[in-house]
Structure 1
């Protein structure tokens, strides 16, 4: 399975795992979107754990992106930035982020996880990524709370020192 990151410059790999979704497996009902009207959806972020960060990592960025959403640009469901370097896990449904981490507004312009909500009959593949950065905060790049996930992704590209991606499937 290819990911949206495959066409970006290669960096060392992080190992990403989750107790909520197996790489290549379906999202659980909790990771579907109640806000977007999916029955049983809870908009609960998945548990994530990562290993293999290089010593140069000063922070992490976690994101969930659906490149197959019915838009020309896909759909960003979640992005958390400035996760401290000593962190290696986010629990399911996280509400209190570690250190100075903060949530970038997603494509629904909400600073929270928005679960899977593909159109009826569709099967979408969600890239769940953890990227290690050589900077402690994206604010060093002039990024603030009004930035979009795409803008953050563009600006951090030269600061990514490792990346791990798992893919989740959403279907209706």
Structure 2
């Protein structure tokens, strides 16, 4: 069985709905709902002991891309994240899961908000099947450090990509 991820919020390669775009509260010039999209995955390899979810924009004009969402230590019994699960105050975070710091500086989902007039940016949502129960992380652990750990501890990855242009 192949490890795959799908979403009820968008299809692979489609534009993300305004509901998932960064809210005006962040003062980046966007006015979306800032709700993380629904994700569902299946086919994780044998030996999976937890999952991690990331959202990364490789097109951000930073020289290093931009991390929009990092959730780790998702129990292996979980195969789906509800709409807005990336909101730490929303009550939809799976028990035991941990949100860690994004490039917005917060441990929460932060939606797309590319520079106005820039080309469409790619938002790559990745579910990582992890071979350990817990990554060594706190809410303040950077996305780069999480990425380093996942490089060595992920057994498989499944991705779905959304687009957004401001």
**Shared topology, TM-score over 0.5?**
yes
Distance 1:102 1:15 in 2: 22
Deviations 1:129-171 (A, max 9, x none): 00000100002xxx33321111111122121111101111010
Q: Please, which of 157, 163, 166 is the counterpart of residue 157 of structure 2?
A: 163
| Unpaired runs of at least 5, structure 2 | none
**1:22-101 mapped onto 2 (5 Å cutoff):** 22-34=11-23, 35=26, 36-39=28-31, 41-94=32-85, 95-96=90-91, 97-101=93-97
Shift of the alpha carbon at 1:59?
A: 0.3
Distance 2:144 2:41 in 1: 23
Deviations 1:43-80 (A, max 9, x none): 10000000001120000000100011110111100000
Shift of the alpha carbon at 1:37?
A: 3.0
How many residues were matched structurally? 157
| Unpaired runs of at least 5, structure 1 | 1-11
Secondary structure of the 2:146 match is: helix
Runs of 4+ in 1 over 4 A off after TM superposition: none
Q: Please, which of 95, 114, 119 is the counterpart of residue 118 of structure 1?
A: 114
| TM-score (structure 2 length as normaliser) | 0.90
| TM-score (structure 1 length as normaliser) | 0.87
Are the counterparts in 2 of residues 14 and 130 from structure 1 also a CA contact under 8 Å? no
Distance 1:112 1:145 in 2: 9
Aligned-pair Cα RMSD in Å: 1.3
